[in-house]
Amino acid sequence: MSEAPHVPVMLPEVLAALKPGKGQVIADGTFGAGGYTSAILDSGARVLAFDRDLTAIEAGRERFAGHDRLVLIHRSFDTLSEEAAIHAPDGLDGAVFDLGVSSMQLDQSERGFSFMRDGPLDMRMGDGVSAEKVIAELDQNDLKTILWQYGEERRAGQLAAAIVRAREKAPITTTGQLAALAGPQRPKDKIHPATRMFQAIRIFVNDELGQLVRALMAAERSLKPGGRLVVVTFHSLEDRIVKKFLAIASGNEGTGSRHLPEVRRAAPSFILENKKALAASEAEAAENPRARSAKLRAAIRTDADPTLWARDRLQSLGAPSLVFSDLQERWSQHR
Ligand X SMILES: C[S@@+](CC[C@H](N)C(=O)[O-])C[C@H]1O[C@@H](n2cnc3c(N)ncnc32)[C@H](O)[C@@H]1O
The torsion angles phi and psi of 288, rounded to 5 degrees, stand at -130, 105
Count CB neighbours of 92 within 10 A: 26
Between 159 and 291, CB nearer to ligand X: 291
Pick from 20, 24, 46, 53: which binds ligand X (CB under 6 A)? 53
Closest to 113 in 3D by CA, of 35, 178, 160: 178
Distance separating alpha carbons of residues 317 and 249, to the nearest angstrom? 11
Of the listed pieces 17-25, 49-57, 109-117, 141-149, which binds ligand X according to CB under 6 A?
Answer: 49-57
Query: Which residues in 108-137 contact ligand X (CB under 6 A)?
Result: 125
The torsion angles phi and psi of 48, rounded to 5 degrees, stand at -100, 110
* Count of CA atoms in the C-beta half-sphere (13 A) of 261: 2
Interface with ligand X: number of residues (CB under 6 A): 21
- Least distance from C-beta 267 to ligand X, angstroms? 29
Between 15 and 266, CB nearer to ligand X: 15
Query: Which residues in 211-240 contact ligand X (CB under 6 A)?
Result: 211
- Least distance from C-beta 278 to ligand X, angstroms? 16
Between 125 and 172, CB nearer to ligand X: 125
76 binds ligand X (CB under 6 A): yes
Angle between helices 208-222 and 236-249 (to 10 degrees): 30
Distance separating alpha carbons of residues 208 and 29, to the nearest angstrom? 13
Cα dist from 90 to 142, 223, 303, whole Å: 44, 9, 13
Between 102 and 114, CB nearer to ligand X: 102
Pick from 10, 26, 27, 34: which binds ligand X (CB under 6 A)? 34
145-151-157-161 Cα dihedral, nearest 10 degrees? -90
- Least distance from C-beta 47 to ligand X, angstroms? 12
- Least distance from C-beta 258 to ligand X, angstroms? 38
Of the listed pieces 19-27, 47-55, 109-117, 165-173, which binds ligand X according to CB under 6 A?
Answer: 47-55
- Least distance from C-beta 175 to ligand X, angstroms? 18
Helices (H) and strands (E) in the chain, counts: 15, 8
Of the listed pieces 48-56, 263-271, 302-310, 322-330, which binds ligand X according to CB under 6 A?
Answer: 48-56
150 binds ligand X (CB under 6 A): no
Pick from 98, 132, 238, 239: which binds ligand X (CB under 6 A)? 98
Pick from 10, 47, 56, 229: which binds ligand X (CB under 6 A)? 56
Distance separating alpha carbons of residues 328 and 335, to the nearest angstrom? 12
Provide CB contacts within 8 A for 332, sequence distance 6+.
Answer: 128, 207, 210
Between 50 and 270, CB nearer to ligand X: 50
- Least distance from C-beta 250 to ligand X, angstroms? 24
Q: Are 15 and 273 in contact (CB under 8 A)?
A: no
Of the listed pieces 44-52, 112-120, 137-145, 313-321, which binds ligand X according to CB under 6 A?
Answer: 44-52
Pick from 46, 52, 228, 243: which binds ligand X (CB under 6 A)? 52
Distance separating alpha carbons of residues 98 and 104, to the nearest angstrom? 14
Residue 216 sits at the vertex; the CA angle it makes with 29 and 279, to the nearest 5 degrees, is 75
Distance separating alpha carbons of residues 112 and 130, to the nearest angstrom? 9
Binding site for ligand X (CB under 6 A): 6, 8, 30, 32-36, 50-53, 56, 76-77, 98, 100-102, 125, 211
